[in-house]
C-alpha cells in the first residue's frame, strides 16, 4: 500500500516537473524571439535572471532526454535534478520586494567579506589570549565528594575522574571553537564562569577565584555587539541603495524632472 502511494506521488511529481519544464521552455523561446539571445542592450543573456531560467530549462531538458533514452535510470542522474531547487527563485524575479531583498543580499557579499576578515582577526587575537590565560586550567574533578579535592593528584587518589571541560583553551583550535561559541551567545555564561573559577594547571576550580578574568569575557562580548552592528548597518545601507535604484528605474520620468 505504502509503495503504491509512493509510486503515484512520484508520477505526479514527475509529470508536474515536465509540465513546468515545457512552460519555461516556451517562455524562454518567446523571450529570445522578442529580445534576441546575445546582441542588444536588453537581450536575453544580459539579465542574470534570464540566464538562471535558461540554465533550468537546459538541465530539465537534459534530464528528460536522458530519461527517455534510458528509462528507469533517474536515480543515477539525480545530479540533474539539483538545479530544480532554484525554480522558486523565479517568483523572486516577478515580485519587486523579494527581488529587492535578493539584490541587497547579493550586493552585500563583497562588503561583508571585509567585515568577515575583521571578525577573523578579532577571533584569532582573543583565541591566542585565551590560550595564554587558560591553557590547562579548564579541568575539574568528577566524583562523589569533591569538596576536599584541591588538585589532580587528590582527584586520582580518590579514584575520581579528572575531566576537561567541553569548551576550553588548551590549544589554538579549541580556543577558536570556544571563542566562536561565545560569539554565538550560546553558552558564553558557562565559559565565563569556568574562566572565573580557573585556579591553575592541574588545580581544582574554586568559585569566583579570579574576578579579573571578567575583563576578558566582557570585553569580548562588547566587541561582538559592535561587529554585529557593523553587519546589520551594512545590510541596511545596501538595502536602501538598492531601493533607491529600483525607484529610479521604475520612475525615470520623475527623476528627469527632479534633475
206 and 197 Cβ atoms separated by less than 8 Å: yes
Task: Map out the domains of the chain with their CATH numbers.
Answer: 2-107 (no CATH), 110-235 (1.10.287.70)
pLDDT in tens, the chain (259 residues): 556 666 676 677 667 767 777 777 787 788 778 777 777 677 777 776 677 777 777 777 777 776 676 655 554 444 555 555 556 666 666 666 666 676 777 777 777 778 888 888 989 999 999 999 999 899 999 888 888 888 888 888 888 898 998 889 999 999 999 998 888 887 788 889 999 999 888 898 988 888 898 999 999 999 888 888 887 887 778 777 777 776 776 665 444 444 4
CA 213 to CA 211: how far, in whole Å?
5
CA 104 to CA 240: how far, in whole Å?
8
CA 203 to CA 72: how far, in whole Å?
66
Q: Is the pTM of this model over 0.75?
A: no
CA 46 to CA 31: how far, in whole Å?
12
Amino acid at each position: 500500500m505504502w509503495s503504491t502511494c509512493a509510486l503515484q506521488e512520484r508520477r505526479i511529481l514527475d509529470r508536474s516537473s515536465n509540465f513546468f519544464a515545457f512552460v519555461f521552455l516556451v517562455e524562454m523561446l518567446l523571450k529570445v524571439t522578442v529580445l534576441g539571445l546575445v546582441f542588444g542592450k536588453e537581450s536575453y543573456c544580459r539579465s542574470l535572471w534570464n540566464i538562471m531560467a535558461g540554465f533550468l530549462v537546459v538541465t530539465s531538458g537534459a534530464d528528460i532526454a536522458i530519461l527517455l533514452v534510458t528509462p528507469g535510470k533517474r536515480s543515477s542522474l539525480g545530479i540533474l535534478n539539483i538545479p530544480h531547487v532554484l525554480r522558486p527563485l523565479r517568483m523572486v524575479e516577478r515580485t519587486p520586494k523579494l527581488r529587492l531583498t535578493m539584490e541587497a543580499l547579493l550586493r552585500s557579499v563583497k562588503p561583508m567579506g571585509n567585515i568577515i576578515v575583521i571578525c577573523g582577526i578579532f577571533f584569532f587575537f582573543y583565541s591566542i589570549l585565551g590560550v595564554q590565560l587558560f591553557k590547562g586550567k579548564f579541568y575539574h574533578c568528577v566524583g562523589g565528594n569533591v569538596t576536599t579535592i584541591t588538585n589532580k593528584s587528590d582527584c586520582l587518589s580518590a579514584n575520581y575522574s579528572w575531566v576537561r571541560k567541553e569548551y576550553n583553551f588548551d590549544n589554538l583550535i579549541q580556543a577558536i571553537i570556544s571563542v566562536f561559541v561565545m560569539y554565538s551567545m550560546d553558552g558564553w555564561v558557562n565559559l565565563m564562569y569556568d574562566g572565573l573559577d580557573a585556579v591553575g594547571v592541574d588545580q581544582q576550580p574554586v568559585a569566583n577565584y579570579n574576578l579579573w578574568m571578567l575583563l576578558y569575557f566582557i570585553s569580548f562580548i562588547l566587541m561582538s555587539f559592535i561587529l554585529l552592528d557593523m553587519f546589520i548597518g551594512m545590510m541596511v545601507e545596501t538595502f536602501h541603495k538598492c531601493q533607491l535604484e529600483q525607484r529610479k528605474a521604475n520612475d525615470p520620468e520623475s527623476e528627469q524632472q527632479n534633475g
